[in-house]
Structure 1
Amino acid sequence: MTAQEEKNPDFFNEEVKRYLKKHYNIDGKIHRLVSYDDQNFLVTDKKNTKHVLKISNTIEKKEFLNAQSEVLKYLKKKCSNYQFPNHFETAEGKIILSIKDDSGFSYFARLLNYVPGTFLRDLKNHSENLLYKFGEFLATMDKALLEFDHPAFHRNFTWDLKNALQAYDRLKYIKSSHKRRIAEYFLLQFETHVSPQFHRLRSSLIHGDANDWNVLISQNESGGEIVGVIDFGDMVFSQTINELAIALVYVLFNKENPLATAKHVIRGYNSVLPLEELELELLYHLICGRLCIGVTMYALSSLKYPENDYVTISEKPAWELLEKLIRINPRQAEKEFKQACQMVDSFNSNRLHQKQILNLRQQYIGKSLSISYDKPLKIVRGALQYLYDDIGKTYLDAVNNVPHVGHCHPKVVKAAQKQLAVLNTNTRYLHDNLVLYAQRLTDKIPDPLNVCFFTNSGSEAIDLALRLARNYTGQKDIIVVESAYHGTTTADIEISAYKFDGSGGSGAESYIHKVETPDTYRGRYKAADAEAGKKYAAQVKNVIEQMQKKNKKPAAFICESLMGVAGQIVLPENYLKEVFHFVRQADGLCIADEVQIGFGRVGTHFWGFETQDVVPDIVTLGKPIGNGFPLAAVVTTLEIADAFANGMEYFNTYGGNPVSCAVGLAVLDVIEQEKLQENALRVGAYLKKRLESLKDEFKLIGDVRGTGLFIGIELVRDHKTLEPADTEAVSIVEKMKNNGILISTDGPFHNVLKIKPPIIFNRENAGFLVDTLCLIFLQRNLKHF
């Protein structure tokens, strides 16, 4: 056996009895106790005196065990109001006994006195008084430990919060992609907010594992008293605040309001050992960091020790707590932690307040840029499907389709950080990322679409698509759909009926030809008409015939594969198939605008156009492609791309840069590895079904439509006239915001509630959204409309 080999002890009761008799002269009963990586026995001698025999695993060092003995003696003197275990000497006068198993492995054994009491875990309800006393106890112990040190405690220890980022390497053992994503997100936040500040925090020796199996209490009418703590095997020289963070993890298990619970412990701790401002600012992330260490170690341990249930005993409540904590704004946690210590919250003292920002926007930002909501939000952080504002409120994001795989998804963030730290330049140089991403992207798109052009926004992509089409066909005329929106460039506005027919618009140019929105709810052909798609498509044929009478041909027909701004419109069956046939007969090209709905959002397919069983000539991609990073693309055929290489170079300074392509690759990885297209299908179906049930209950709901996580709810005041309920829609959006859910309105009449969340949206999120929406309908008494 080498010094590096690790083996947990597994001694039989009879072997233990022999050692106890030989070295401690103890006869009695023994009972094996649960443990993590060592072996513990409760020993009851003939006088009914109880002891605990601890057998460490093979890698435990004797110096460390001796240090534990010294610190226990020290704490017994300094913290006399509490009880701690003490070591007994062997017959040979030693406190550490070396024993061997049948395989020749050596282990260190120690006999300690039994500390009586009830485990904190066994008390179902923790009173405010007990939590406060728990904080007092921790601080009393830590205050004493400020004056104690030993070289053996200065060690590299997996469970030390200083080493939280080692958990990155263990993420692979977490089977659930949803759970793995949450843990990785919190590790990223730890790396961002905590690690750079470690050197500023107080350091001292800490117990390091005041969990609910190690803390002992005595019960009384006032809620209980803290007896003491056992198991000093995790002692380490670390940041002092880590003691509190670790202890809080376990008392927050199964608590409905984690912050309220934490405040009682913090108050008690602060009353004995005053906490510093930076410690309180980082405490939320330290708690999350400890949980990440825990869940990754549980995942690894369950593989290493599948028969030992104790190694994962805290796994379920740990995950439940992480799920709760991601819904808690770190700002709110910081505020409440400081309140518990009667400390002034200085977070916003050097930051702009909302009124200041609004004033500066009016002064320096063009007034054509609007702001969402009557009372605008100042959003300061994103956390997967959640957004945090500056005052501590958390919002479930059900409307931002740009952070496709979640705000600040750790894999996407890491990809950008890593590449940005190495190189970011233009495409005139050779680089792996450009060609590898183009290859990956075109692999996801049907043939013959296999040539990419990269831009920085969907608007640029649409503009370029129009250039490609006009160059290839030699024509200028474009056929567009009513109420459609395609971008912000001059060329984009010319083909966006939503803009040129709207406020400030000047109508369609002579070379722009508009057809009706294929809306089977509000349009002339309804959902019940099996031929609705073909009938709407016939309008395109009519437009082409009118063009031909003037000796014109279409350069292209452009349409969103599912229409967003037009009101979350799902195209009727066979619409694009018929339209593409007519356009191609007239030598025009077919452009599918996937800027809003591509990359698996529709659930059934990766691309929206696939739901219509067609393959366009040009596809434009944007928004979700980079998860919020400036990246967009045009994908077309080799023939169309080659025709564009006519001597006039197309060069985009930032398009296709190494960082953008690294991000694009990461987004594709996440979608595939986390099976997010399948998630969009599954959660979207559940969400739509729940929303359809509301339609039966509330007359204001005229239509629920969509596929995957692309859903619209059209509100009308009259089911016959379809009078748009626009003011009601705006009111509901505001109410939803006040209840912590962000949605918005769409459609030409602004009466369609649009739901387009990140595609990591889960069933619980969907249920919360529908339940909240239902409550708002009931509160407004909209049932009677």
Structure 2
Amino acid sequence: MVQDRVLAEWGLRGDWRPLRSERDQTWHLTTGDGPGVIVKLSHRDEAVGTVDFQIGALGHIARVDPALPVPRMVETRGGALRSMIRGEDGTDHILRLLTYVDGAIAQDVFAACADPAGLRRAIGGFVARLSLALRGFFHPHAGSNRHDWDLARVTALAPALPRIADNALRAQCAQVLAEADARIYPALARTRHQVVHQDAHMGNLLVDPAEPTRVVGVIDFGDMLHGPLLADLATAADCFPDAQADPLAILADVTQGFDAVCPLEEAEIDLVFDLCCLRLVNTVLVAAARHDPADTAPDLHLGGGHKHGAMLGKLLAVGRTEATRMLRRACGFPVPALMPDPAATQAALIAQREAAMGKVWHFYQSPLHLTRGEGAWLIGADGARYLDAYNNVPQVGHSHPAVVRAIARQAAALNANTRYLADSTGAYAQALLAQAPAGFDVCAFVNSGSEANDLAAQIARFATGRHGAVVMEGAYHGITAATVELSPLTKAPPPHVACLPAPDLYRGFAPDPATSWAEATAHLASAGHAPAFLMVDTALTSNGVPDQPPGYMAGLAKAARASEALVIADEVQAGLGRLGQFWGFAVQGLEHVDLITLGKPVGNGHPLGVVLTRRALWQAFYAQCEVFSTFGGNSVACAAGQAVLDVIAREDLLTRANRIGDLLRAQLRDLAQAFPLIGDVRGRGMLTGLEFTSDPAARTPATAQAARLVEAMRENGVLVGTAGPHRSAFKLRPALTWTESEVAFFVEALRKSLKTL
């Protein structure tokens, strides 16, 4: 009857070979011309919607990825994609024909494959491509095609648990089901969902017999439904050859292959282990539910000598934490070094660093192990959240989505040095110069603030023909050979570097800029040098963010110009809105600068440094020196820099910096009424100096108390650091994205910390 209908409607006759099928009747019909076709006669209970769902999916794949080797529908002579046939019992069945996809069933050749890991990665990549091809497709039946293999409802099979004879396996399955309801499914609901094949395992995947690591097709679309994308990955990973296999190595290979084609999201990589366990439990429970109790060989229903049960036991023995670490490493995600004992984890990380990096200084008496950053917050390995009031690097907050997207998308497209033309570099330079003072028309790109300050110093020395430098005492300008000499905070200055005394208005010290400059240049002259430049962090951050006498910076610049020295504004910490205006030197009344340097925050932590100057200065220098940084200003770095500028403008962060910064300082001054240890609150925008004094009358620096407060603040969930000549002040440099809630949290944490002293 089927043969007659196929001949009548499709005009095909030939040799019929029955194929194994779980639900439908299926034949391979060869006509002597080509590979033939597949004839499918649906089960009498199969809904028309289910078949049309499959037909629609295959049509969608043919449109969006025509080269993907999946069956294609074969139309009848009248152009229909299916037909109805009535059986002898009077029930209707759906009849349809599909093209035959040639290849060997993967599980039939797996044992002979010389590179099983390569095959597993190929399977992951192929299934990912299939998932991408199904993205955007939907059918009304997609949400109702529920069946026993639906990984989003494995817990519905729990009544089959008592039928599992093996006590240990039954307990393991129950454990996973309990985890599913409590943790896995709520987390899975927050991941990507779409129409998924959910049956692309080694029994339905075809490979080239001559090259078994090349997947050449997939068949059987009967288990498709709308569900989590991870269901396709978990099903693909069900390629365990026997009970002796290493399930974690197999899962890592398939996941790596899948991620290479369809990148996983952070929430998804952390659920891969769980979905694999659910797939194994699903297989065990389906087999148990369908097992005939009269069967005298109950173990056979699991196949491979309890293969899936053995894989589940091995995975659970490894544990979710260690397995997820391995999967993250396989796919290039950050890998937290987690151990059951946090102290052991910390000790292992420190030992690892010292073995590979030498002795490294860490913040805090007990180093802090961080794994994530979100906006104003840093998250520790133990899940504890810390309000970050110290790191000025994430100008627009940790892992700002706009910056992360810009970096990822540009890195996926191109990352080349600036000897080549790239769209992002020139566009970003123009956008940055649009914010600069009049006359600044050149950007020179490097990779860090240290390099920017180094290059600015070179330009100034070339322009003036001098070697001397003037900096602020206690200043920090970088770690290169040149800039470390300009950083008296970390190294005693050499004879060609003179230091200016830093103002301390809290203690009544207001140095005269002209006098200070004269003393500095006299010091240089005594060593045989004349000043080439004045380099100054315009917020005097390392000095504790002290208030400055009116006209102080302008007076220094005037004195420098009178000595024919150039003025370099180090805006690494004070720029891009930190002081409530785009440029810190403008806030401080420094009207004349010759070079501006940026680093750290300009790319929100991505390596980027910039020197802004006037064309005449740059071109004269470049004509003689042709200084070039291979990856300074590369396309990815400039994409990050552009994203930072966009976020500052779009979220109106300069306005917010002034409003939130003023609120923070007002509440700190209120807190000082109850705690006389707080001697001074100063600053502008989102840069605040908080001075502690052990004797308010004498204004004695409370160095020891400040150090203890740093530790106490950490215990209360806030990260801070000290600055100033006596290390008795907090320098608070939070992201420009702080809100009132972060201010309230900070002030309350400080209140609690002060009470402990």
| TM-score, structure 2 as length reference | 0.58
| Cross-structure match for 1:29 | none
Q: Report if the CA contact (8 A) 1:599-1:606 is conserved.
A: yes
Question: What is the Cα deviation at residue 454 of structure 1?
Answer: 1.0
Q: What is the alpha-carbon distance in structure 1 between the residues aligned to residue 229 and residue 749 of structure 2?
A: 41
SS at match of 1:427: coil
Unaligned 5+ segments in structure 2 are 1-136, 160-177, 189-197, 200-219, 233-261, 286-311, 325-334
Give the one of 637, 643, 654 matched to 1:660. 637
Q: What is the alpha-carbon distance in structure 2 between the residues aligned to residue 703 and residue 557 of structure 1?
A: 28
Give the one of 615, 620, 623 matched to 2:597. 620
| Cross-structure match for 1:310 | none
Question: What is the Cα deviation at residue 562 of structure 1?
Answer: 0.1
Q: What is the alpha-carbon distance in structure 2 between the residues aligned to residue 404 and residue 581 of structure 1?
A: 31
Amino acid at match of 1:519: D
Note closer, same or farther for the CA distance 1:750–1:477 as it changes in structure 2 (3 Å cut): same
| Cross-structure match for 2:354 | 362
| Cross-structure match for 2:582 | 606
Q: Report if the CA contact (8 A) 1:63-1:152 is conserved.
A: no
Q: Does 1:432 align with 2:423?
A: yes
- Greater Cα offset, 191-200 or 485-494: 191-200
Deviations 1:548-582 (A, max 9, x none): 89996421111111011111224333112222122
Q: What is the alpha-carbon distance in structure 2 between the residues aligned to residue 754 and residue 412 of structure 1?
A: 25
What are the residue-to-residue correspondences of 1:521-670 with 2, within 5 Å? 521-522=506-507, 524-525=509-510, 535-541=512-518, 543-544=520-521, 553-603=530-580, 605-613=581-589, 614-670=591-647
Q: What is the alpha-carbon distance in structure 2 between the residues aligned to residue 489 and residue 195 of structure 1?
A: 39
Note closer, same or farther for the CA distance 1:730–1:153 as it changes in structure 2 (3 Å cut): same
What are the residue-to-residue correspondences of 1:377-456 with 2, within 5 Å? 377-456=368-447
Note closer, same or farther for the CA distance 1:648–1:135 as it changes in structure 2 (3 Å cut): closer
| Cross-structure match for 1:768 | 745
Question: What is the Cα deviation at residue 68 of structure 1?
Answer: 9.4
Note closer, same or farther for the CA distance 1:438–1:720 as it changes in structure 2 (3 Å cut): same
Deviations 1:599-648 (A, max 9, x none): 11112x01101102324110110110111111111111111112202332
Note closer, same or farther for the CA distance 1:61–1:690 as it changes in structure 2 (3 Å cut): same
Q: What is the alpha-carbon distance in structure 2 between the residues aligned to residue 600 and residue 741 of structure 1?
A: 23
Question: What is the Cα deviation at residue 202 of structure 1?
Answer: 6.1
SS at match of 1:693: helix
Q: Report if the CA contact (8 A) 1:537-1:575 is conserved.
A: no
Question: What is the Cα deviation at residue 751 of structure 1?
Answer: 0.8
SS at match of 1:381: strand
| Cross-structure match for 1:756 | 733
Amino acid at match of 1:767: A
SS at match of 1:463: helix
SS at match of 1:434: helix
Deviations 1:514-555 (A, max 9, x none): 221022113523xxxxxx7xx345422554577689996421
Q: Does 1:486 align with 2:486?
A: no
Note closer, same or farther for the CA distance 1:681–1:69 as it changes in structure 2 (3 Å cut): same
| Cross-structure match for 1:260 | none
Question: What is the Cα deviation at residue 726 of structure 1?
Answer: 0.9
Q: Report if the CA contact (8 A) 1:557-1:590 is conserved.
A: yes
Q: Report if the CA contact (8 A) 2:147-2:223 is conserved.
A: no
Q: Report if the CA contact (8 A) 1:561-1:571 is conserved.
A: no
Question: What is the Cα deviation at residue 162 of structure 1?
Answer: 8.3
SS at match of 2:726: coil
Note closer, same or farther for the CA distance 1:633–1:348 as it changes in structure 2 (3 Å cut): farther
Q: What is the alpha-carbon distance in structure 2 between the residues aligned to residue 435 and residue 69 of structure 1?
A: 56
| Cross-structure match for 2:457 | 466
SS at match of 2:482: helix
Question: What is the Cα deviation at residue 484 of structure 1?
Answer: 1.2
Note closer, same or farther for the CA distance 1:152–1:435 as it changes in structure 2 (3 Å cut): same
Deviations 1:461-492 (A, max 9, x none): 11111111011111111121111111112221
Amino acid at match of 2:399: C
Note closer, same or farther for the CA distance 1:394–1:590 as it changes in structure 2 (3 Å cut): same
Give the one of 691, 708, 711 matched to 2:668. 691
| Cross-structure match for 2:655 | 678
Report how many aligned residue pairs link the two structures. 507
| Cross-structure match for 2:685 | 708
Amino acid at match of 2:275: L
Q: Report if the CA contact (8 A) 2:535-2:570 is conserved.
A: yes
Amino acid at match of 2:611: V
SS at match of 1:656: coil
Q: What is the alpha-carbon distance in structure 1 between the residues aligned to residue 409 and residue 726 of structure 2?
A: 45
Amino acid at match of 2:457: L
Amino acid at match of 2:479: T
- Greater Cα offset, 515-524 or 633-642: 515-524
Q: What is the alpha-carbon distance in structure 2 between the residues aligned to residue 634 and residue 654 of structure 1?
A: 15
Question: What is the Cα deviation at residue 412 of structure 1?
Answer: 1.5
Q: Does 1:201 align with 2:275?
A: yes
Unaligned 5+ segments in structure 1 are 1-58, 81-131, 143-147, 164-187, 206-236, 241-272, 285-329, 332-344, 526-531, 781-785
| Cross-structure match for 2:265 | 191
Q: Does 1:512 align with 2:512?
A: no
SS at match of 1:717: strand
Q: What is the alpha-carbon distance in structure 2 between the residues aligned to residue 690 and residue 742 of structure 1?
A: 18
| Cross-structure match for 2:707 | 730
Deviations 1:53-73 (A, max 9, x none): xxxxxx998767987999xxx
Note closer, same or farther for the CA distance 1:666–1:162 as it changes in structure 2 (3 Å cut): farther
| Cross-structure match for 1:36 | none
What are the residue-to-residue correspondences of 1:262-341 with 2, within 5 Å? none
Q: What is the alpha-carbon distance in structure 1 between the residues aligned to residue 601 and residue 722 of structure 2?
A: 20
Q: Report if the CA contact (8 A) 1:405-1:627 is conserved.
A: yes
What are the residue-to-residue correspondences of 1:249-264 with 2, within 5 Å? none
Note closer, same or farther for the CA distance 1:65–1:609 as it changes in structure 2 (3 Å cut): closer
Question: What is the Cα deviation at residue 732 of structure 1?
Answer: 0.7
| Cross-structure match for 1:342 | none
Q: What is the alpha-carbon distance in structure 2 between the residues aligned to residue 66 and residue 700 of structure 1?
A: 67
| Larger of the two Rg values belongs to structure | 2
Note closer, same or farther for the CA distance 1:78–1:197 as it changes in structure 2 (3 Å cut): closer
Q: What is the alpha-carbon distance in structure 1 between the residues aligned to residue 468 and residue 432 of structure 2?
A: 30
Question: What is the Cα deviation at residue 424 of structure 1?
Answer: 2.1
- Greater Cα offset, 714-723 or 440-449: 714-723
Q: Does 1:721 align with 2:698?
A: yes
| Cross-structure match for 1:250 | none
Note closer, same or farther for the CA distance 1:78–1:539 as it changes in structure 2 (3 Å cut): closer
Q: Report if the CA contact (8 A) 1:516-1:536 is conserved.
A: no
- Overall identity of the aligned pairs, in %: 34
Q: Report if the CA contact (8 A) 1:201-1:279 is conserved.
A: no
Task: Let me know the Cα RMSD of the aligned residues.
Answer: 4.7
SS at match of 2:399: coil
Q: What is the alpha-carbon distance in structure 1 between the residues aligned to residue 726 and residue 616 of structure 2?
A: 41
